Each structure stands twice: as C-alpha cells, then as structure tokens.
Chains A and B, each alone.
Chain A
Amino acid sequence: MTKVVFIEHDGTEHEVDAENGTNLMEAATKHLVPGIDADCGGACACATCMIYVPEEWAAKLPEKEDMEETMLDFCDHSKENSRLACQIEVTDALEGIRVSMPASQH
C-alpha cells in the first residue's frame, strides 16, 4: 500500500491507501474521490482522469507514452504538469505523493 493524497479543485484533500500494481485512477475511484471521472475505465481513451503533479514528483513517474501525451495536449484544462491518472502505476516510489484535479474533466 502506498499513501496518495488527491486534492480537489476546491482544496478538499483525500488521503487514500493505494494498492501497488494498480494505477492512480483506480486508487481514486476505489476510494470514491470526486473529480476523477474515468469514463473509459482506464483504457487511455477518454482523458477524464487528468491530474496535476507537482514538479518534485514529476521525475519519479513513468514517462508519458505518445497516446497520453497527445490526449493531454488536447484537454481543456491541461497544463505542463498534467498526467492521466490511469497511466500511472502505483509503486513504493509514490509514497506520499500529492496530486490535484481540475475543476472539471469535461
């Protein structure tokens, strides 16, 4: 288990124990964190599980594959530090990571 903090757009924090080997999208939906829609269930097809990752954590994450990169490129609320939560596997290296969500995923 790895501790992950999801921060809603209004600042509400949700600290969850994420299971290693699953991904951050699953960790959020499993713990009923609002603000992650995940319409496609993690197929990297819908870009509705966007999160913002602080700079100090960005380097510890797996690199973006082309599909994720281009999907993010076309999202309304996308920023340089955006990621799709379904593409980030939970590992010990993420212990304590704090990520935030946009106001809307659509």
Chain B
Amino acid sequence: MSDHVVIVGAGHAAGQAAASLRQEGYEGAITMIGNEPYIPYQRPPLSKKFLAGEIGIDRVYFKPPEFYEKENVTVKLGTRVTEIDRNAKTVHTDKGETFTYSKLLLTTGSRVRELNLPGFDLEGVFYLRNVGDVEGIQSYFNKGGKCVIVGGGYIGLEVAAVAAKHGIDVTVLEMAPMVMARVVGPIVSRFYERVHKEEGVKIVTGAAVSGFEGKNGQLTKVTCADGTAHEADFVVVGVGILPNVELAVEANLKVENGIAVDECCRTSDPDIYAAGDCTNHPNPLLGERLRLESVHNALEQAKTAAAAICGKEKPYAQIPWFWSDQYDLKLQIVGLSAGYDQAVVRGNPDEGRSFAVFYLKEGRLIAVDAINRAPEFMMSKQLIAKGVSIPAEKLRDESINMKEMAAYAT
C-alpha cells in the first residue's frame, strides 16, 4: 500500500501537521478531512480582532488556500469522519467516502460545552467556537442593545470587551465566585473584574443561569436560579470546551481525559497519532500528564506528530503558555499555577493596568500571569523551563530588572 497520511480535523494542529510533514520530507499523499466549510484557520482572533471586524477571514487562515495545492494536500471540507476501521486501516465519512490510510492523525480538537437549559434554542443564543458563530454574533453588534455573557472565562470576557467597545450594554454572569478562576489566580481575577467595571461592563459572580426566555422565538431575557432576570437581545455562552474523543473511543483507542498519546504523539495504535486539544499527553518538564486547550500545544504537538510519522523522534517538551487580549490589556501566562503555595506580586494590581503575579511552589517558580508585562513573561518563560527557584523578595523588587533575575536563580 502506498503512503497516505489521513488527518482527521482541520484546525491549527491539522494545518501545522500538513506543513510539518512536508518540511520533514514526507512525499506521500496527505488528505485532511474537516467538518467546517473552511480550510484551517486561527481561532484566537475569533473572540478578538475578527469578532471586532478589524480583519477578514483571509487574514485568519492558518495557511493561504494556495498552500494546500502547492504542497499537494487534498482537503475535504464540510465532511465528518464517522468511523475508524483499524483492521482495514480506513476511515468512513458522512459523505459515504472511504479513505485508506497508512498513518492516521487525529486532530479532532474540542467543541463547546453546551448549556441545555430551557430556551437554549431561542434566536439570539450563541456560542463562540467557529467562524459561523462569529457571523451570528456580529449580526447583533450592529443593532446595539443588550448582551448577556454566560461564563466569565477567556472567551466570555474577550467577547465582553469587544461588545462593550461596540457600544453594547454588557452583563457577564459567572457561576464561580470570581471570573477566569480556572486560568488565573485570585489577584488577577479581581483585577479583571475592576477593569471590566471601569469599561462599563457589569459582572455578576455566583450567578447560576437557569434558563432563557423569549418572545416569538427571539431571546428577551436570561434567568438565574435565585429568581433574578437580565434583559438581553442576545447572549453568548462561553462555559468551556470538551475534547472530541468519540471517534477514538469507538475505535477502542486508549482515552483518558483526552486521547492518550506518548511524548511523540503516538496513540495506543502504532499507526494512529493524535495532536492538539483532543490529546492527553505527558509533559516531561512538568512531570505529569495533561490535556491542554491551547494553540501553542496544538502547533508543537503537530510538529512532533509529523516528525514521528516520518520516523523521527522529536519528543514534545514545552512549558505551556497562553494569552488573552481584552481592551488595552495583554495577558500572557506561562506555566500552570495549579498547586502553588505562594503568589508574589510585582507592580500594583489595584491601580493602573500593568503588573505580574509569580506563582511559587516550595520556592520554585512554576507560573506567571503577566498583564502588559512582556519582560516578566519572556524572562519567566526561560526560568520556568529551567525549573529554578528565585527568592520572592527579588521577584517583587521592581528596582531589579527582569534581565538580572536569572542571577538570583538557584
């Protein structure tokens, strides 16, 4: 059988894998199968510049359309893979097609967690994951009015920032006691609540949404379990994502909070690889297995998987990093702060819009949340990868340049 790499999915990891396969010298056939009607595009701008209408779809594409032609990558769009037959080494699609693979790469990504509450199917209730979702939300931007955001995470707050700039009356309903609680520490959460309030966005924490009400099929309000109601012309729900693992489960691949892969992105089947949001993978730098929802992870795992498919070992070993743009704030996070025992603040979170929080565990630097603080982010990226300890009094001392911080590392 001739070489044929079939890539299931057409997101960041799929696009990067196609490019990396060719860079690694793979000359066989590549087929990419995606259920959206678009070639791979970058998702982060969907809740930022693309939502704001500052850039069009052509500037969001991961690689230009010509790339797939030039690199001889067959792209099947609007097509869903329905089954993997590991014995026959084939995949079947909802269009009735069958593709035979020599190597299969699963980049199935993730999907939004849905809120199946009463009224969820009313006009004006949106999620944000795809280009199509953004088009729906934008159609309401132009009308002005009121928007309720359900979920105060990255997506919810980025949408709130863009909507507020469009003159929309925005209310964010967050179930937890703090916004962004899953991704940043409490100091940073409180800071973001302050800034959103300064920008005119209302934030309600501890709010349990119970349903959506409407008139003639059109949303009019969002109700909460405590009996309160919030008028809304449209609502954007951002309450997390779930990995798309069903194909892998049905094919009896090992799945444990994501498709289980090794450091080279190999699944429990030697001819099947996986990369990106859908995987559960080992991280040698962190000493644990994890599933990540991140562009950086998707890109780096795709490079590793492509190399492995070409018979080269390029183990994935990266400190995770993330970013979020809201108003004039650039949040850059490096490392995972879970399990920290000391938070060290550099700068003043209560005034202005620039500071950083270092997270230490037994003295060792494990993560940083940096707001408009590129030096803290860039330097910490290096320090965390080295696994060093730095005294808290040095980290918080702004008279010490971040460049000099390495001198205090042990």
A residues contacting B by CB (< 8 A) are 22, 26, 29-30, 32, 34, 39-41, 43-47, 67, 70-71, 73-75
Contact in complex: B45, A71 (CB < 8 Å)? no
Q: Which residues of B contact A22 (CB under 8 A)?
A: 59
B215 within 8 A of A: no
**Distance, CA A40 to CA B372, complexed state (A):** 16
Please pick, from B48, B296, B378, the residue contacting A70 in the complex, using a CB distance under 8 A: B378
Please pick, from A34, A43, A74, A75, the residue contacting B323 in the complex, using a CB distance under 8 A: A43
Contact in complex: A74, B375 (CB < 8 Å)? yes
The B324-347 residues at the A interface (CB cut-off 8 A) are 325, 330, 332
The stretch of B63-71, B107-115, B134-142, B355-363 in contact with A is B63-71
**Distance, CA A70 to CA B372, complexed state (A):** 10
Q: Which residues of B contact A34 (CB under 8 A)?
A: 23
Q: A-B pairs with CB below 8 Å: how many?
A: 52
B249 within 8 A of A: no
**Nearest CB on A from B200, distance (A):** 24
Q: Which residues of B contact A67 (CB under 8 A)?
A: 330, 372, 374
Contact in complex: A41, B64 (CB < 8 Å)? no
B42 within 8 A of A: yes
Of the candidates A22, A45, A46, A73, the one having the most CB atoms from chain B within 10 angstroms of its own CB is: A45
**Nearest CB on B from A43, distance (A):** 6
Contact in complex: B59, A70 (CB < 8 Å)? no
Q: Which residues of B contact A41 (CB under 8 A)?
A: 42, 44-45, 295
The B30-59 residues at the A interface (CB cut-off 8 A) are 42, 44-45, 48, 59
Please pick, from A26, A30, A40, A44, the residue contacting B295 in the complex, using a CB distance under 8 A: A40
Q: In the complex where A26-B59, A29-B63, A74-B378 touch, is A45 in contact with B323 (Cβ < 8 A)? A: yes
B73 within 8 A of A: no
B403 within 8 A of A: yes
**Nearest CB on A from B297, distance (A):** 11
A-B contact pairs, 5 of them (CB 8 A): A32-B19, A40-B323, A43-B48, A70-B378, A73-B374
Contact in complex: B64, A74 (CB < 8 Å)? no
**Nearest CB on A from B158, distance (A):** 12
Of the candidates A29, A46, A74, A75, the one having the most CB atoms from chain B within 10 angstroms of its own CB is: A74
Q: In the complex where A22-B59, A40-B44, A44-B330 touch, is A71 in contact with B374 (Cβ < 8 A)? A: yes
**Distance, CA A30 to CA B402, complexed state (A):** 35
Contact in complex: A39, B64 (CB < 8 Å)? no
B residues contacting A by CB (< 8 A) are 19, 23, 42, 44-45, 48, 59, 63-64, 67, 70, 295-296, 299, 321, 323, 325, 330, 332, 372, 374-375, 378-379, 402-403
Closest residue of B by beta carbon distance from A29: B63
Contact in complex: A74, B296 (CB < 8 Å)? no
**Nearest CB on A from B291, distance (A):** 19
Of the candidates A39, A41, A46, A75, the one having the most CB atoms from chain B within 10 angstroms of its own CB is: A41
Contact in complex: B296, A71 (CB < 8 Å)? no
Q: In the complex where A30-B64, A47-B378 touch, is A74 in contact with B330 (Cβ < 8 A)? A: no
**Distance, CA A71 to CA B64, complexed state (A):** 27
Contact in complex: B375, A73 (CB < 8 Å)? yes
Contact in complex: A45, B67 (CB < 8 Å)? no
**Nearest CB on B from A104, distance (A):** 13
Contact in complex: B403, A32 (CB < 8 Å)? no
Of the candidates B70, B378, B403, the one having the most CB atoms from chain A within 10 angstroms of its own CB is: B378
**Nearest CB on B from A101, distance (A):** 15
Contact in complex: B295, A74 (CB < 8 Å)? no
Q: Which residues of A contact B45 (CB under 8 A)?
A: 41
**Nearest CB on A from B30, distance (A):** 15
Closest residue of A by beta carbon distance from B401: A73
**Nearest CB on A from B244, distance (A):** 22
**Distance, CA A22 to CA B378, complexed state (A):** 26
**Distance, CA A26 to CA B59, complexed state (A):** 8
Contact in complex: A39, B295 (CB < 8 Å)? yes
Q: Which residues of A contact B299 (CB under 8 A)?
A: 39
Q: Which residues of A contact B403 (CB under 8 A)?
A: 73-74
Contact in complex: A32, B70 (CB < 8 Å)? yes
Q: Which residues of B contact A30 (CB under 8 A)?
A: 63-64
Extra contacts besides A22-B59, A43-B48, A70-B374 (14): CB < 8 Å: A30-B64, A32-B19, A32-B63, A32-B70, A39-B299, A43-B325, A46-B321, A47-B378, A67-B374, A71-B374, A73-B378, A73-B403, A74-B378, A74-B402
Q: Which residues of A contact B48 (CB under 8 A)?
A: 43
Please pick, from B59, B67, B402, the residue contacting A32 in the complex, using a CB distance under 8 A: B67
**Distance, CA A47 to CA B299, complexed state (A):** 15
Q: Which residues of A contact B372 (CB under 8 A)?
A: 67
**Nearest CB on B from A31, distance (A):** 8
